């Protein structure tokens, strides 16, 4: 077992040490005795970008299956043991990773490590068709509740599919399709686990009130005997041209509370100055109630009830600048669009003011402090930078890179990327509840007008 330790400038005094077991498991420790708690975070380098056509949703399905028992822990035992010891736990799935985490009283740290190791090393012992069918039904119900049966619920899925072309590894979202969830077999699930749930495809971070020497001894004891696996294929190439080259648009007519304009702008991949500059730009434009778009659309024009512009950072594909505007009363989408384009063009020409730069960078600094201010947040950030960028230490100095961005860089990235020919647009037009004939007639008239305008 080898290790490195670093206390870099700009880390606020936070430190982290990195270790590696013989089976390839990377271990990151950060000691902090402020409160008697410890966070355990385990990132597996697998997300929806690793899935293939016809088997979408497997990464997210496995997030659920990992809580369904292992060799020594039956059924719902993982939850019961952690919560019975006074801890909390969960897991999440994204395009680029799947993570599992517990926050425990520090005297219960060994239990959390044993539980994570048991399911990493022996989940296949407990994985059967009954547990697969059980969690398949849970995930399908989650899709209904969070995507299919709520207003604007499918927006993320639709806009992602518009933004990334068919066949691109980010074209589909982690939730997967109903058809693919139904098609997943027990052998599919077992093969997925064998390929991706191996120690050499994972990073384990432990942060908080810990004894590093004792923690490493427990990690070696429980994880050290789990064999590595070399069958993983690298994810498909996610690179794309810097600019889409034209506007992509879809109109959705659903029973929603108000018209909505959503758009995704293609931005630089995470990990460089251009991505940080884009983040500052979007914070100035749409990061909260002091932002330009909020002041213009909500406060001044009163044409919208909500307006936001944020960044979905991605390491393996172009990031997305995510615009979301909900209109007021009977305001039409072209009115909103014209105002947005006017503000973006002005920003691209003039750039941010000194006050806007100070406010945006302070906002991003506060968000960084919020993430690193808890043991759970710090554990997650250390894993993120280890898995996606190869160096957990970058988590401790990330804010310095954002604060180093200049107003010129912000203006340049806005001029290059926040353009009408570099976005996918999703427009929501409300329909009345079924059974309202007047609303149906009005919708039919609108469709006819649009058809005539296109001829």
Copy the structure tokens of residue 202.
Answer: 């994972």
Convert 321-389 into a string of H (helix), E (strand) and C (coil): EEEEEEECCCCCHHHHHHHHHHHHHHHHHHCCCHHHHHHHHHHHHHHHHHHHCCHHHHHHHHHHHHHHH
d(C-alpha 289, C-alpha 144), whole Å: 32
278 close to 348: Cβ distance less than 8 angstroms? no
Which DSSP string corresponds to 88-119?
Answer: EEEEEE-SS-EEEEEEEEGGGHHHHHHHHHHH
148 close to 154: Cβ distance less than 8 angstroms? yes
d(C-alpha 245, C-alpha 420), whole Å: 9
Copy the structure tokens of residue 263.
Answer: 């758009």
Catalytic residues: 63
Task: Give me the helices (H) in 164-301, please.
Answer: 178-183, 186-196, 212-223, 273-286, 292-293
Q: Which residues contact 274 (CB under 8 A, 6 or more apart)?
A: 268, 409, 413
What is the CB-side half-sphere exposure of residue 399 using CA atoms within 13 A? 20
The sign of the dihedral angle between the CA atoms of 402, 404, 407, 408 is negative
- DSSP H or E run through 1: none
Strand partners, 216: none
The sign of the dihedral angle between the CA atoms of 354, 359, 361, 365 is positive
Q: Which residues contact 349 (CB under 8 A, 6 or more apart)?
A: 415
d(C-alpha 189, C-alpha 407), whole Å: 49
d(C-alpha 370, C-alpha 288), whole Å: 16
């Amino acid at each position: 077992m080898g290790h490195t330790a670093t206390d870099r400038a700009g880390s606020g005094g936070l430190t982290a040490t990195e270790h590696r077991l013989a089976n390839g498991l990377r271990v990151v420790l950060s000691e902090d005795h402020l409160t008697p708690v410890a966070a355990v975070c385990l990132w597996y380098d697998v997300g929806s970008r690793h899935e293939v056509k016809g088997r979408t949703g497997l990464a997210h399905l496995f997030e659920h299956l990992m809580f369904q028992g292992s060799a020594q822990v039956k059924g719902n035992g993982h939850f019961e043991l952690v919560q019975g010891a006074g801890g909390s736990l969960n897991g999440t799935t994204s395009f680029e990773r799947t993570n599992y985490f517990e926050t425990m009283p520090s005297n219960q740290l060994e239990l959390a490590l044993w539980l994570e190791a048991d399911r990493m090393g022996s989940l296949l012992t407990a994985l059967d068709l009954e547990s697969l069918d059980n969690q398949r039904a849970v995930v399908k119900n989650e899709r209904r509740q969070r995507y299919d049966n709520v207003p604007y619920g499918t927006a993320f899925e639709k806009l992602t599919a518009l933004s990334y072309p068919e066949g691109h590894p980010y074209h589909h979202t982690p939730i997967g399709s109903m058809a693919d969830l139904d098609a997943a077999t027990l052998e599919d699930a077992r093969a997925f686990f064998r390929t991706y749930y191996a120690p050499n495809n994972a990073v384990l971070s432990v942060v908080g009130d810990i004894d590093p020497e004792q923690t490493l001894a427990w990690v070696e004891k429980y994880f050290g005997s789990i064999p590595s696996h070399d069958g993983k294929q690298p994810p498909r190439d996610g690179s794309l041209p810097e600019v889409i080259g034209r506007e992509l648009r879809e109109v959705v007519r659903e029973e929603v509370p108000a018209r909505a304009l959503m758009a995704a702008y293609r931005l630089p991949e995470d990990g460089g100055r251009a991505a940080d500059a884009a983040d500052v730009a979007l914070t100035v434009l749409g990061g909260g109630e002091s932002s330009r778009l909020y002041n213009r659309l909500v406060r001044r024009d009163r044409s919208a009830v909500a307006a936001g512009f944020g960044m979905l950072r991605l390491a393996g594909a172009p990031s997305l600048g995510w615009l979301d505007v909900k209109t007021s009363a009977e305001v039409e989408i072209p009115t909103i669009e014209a105002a947005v384009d006017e503000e973006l063009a002005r920003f691209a020409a003039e750039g941010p003011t000194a006050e806007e730069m100070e406010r945006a960078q302070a906002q991003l600094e506060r968000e960084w402090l919020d993430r690193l201010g808890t043991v759970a947040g710090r554990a997650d950030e250390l894993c993120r930078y280890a898995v996606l960028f190869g160096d957990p230490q970058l988590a401790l100095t990330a804010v310095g890179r954002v604060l180093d961005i200049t107003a010129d860089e912000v203006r340049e990235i806005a001029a290059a990327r926040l353009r009408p020919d570099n976005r996918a647009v999703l427009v929501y037009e409300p329909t009345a509840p079924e059974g309202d004939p007047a609303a149906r007639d009005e919708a039919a008239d609108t469709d006819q007008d649009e058809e005539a305008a296109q001829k």
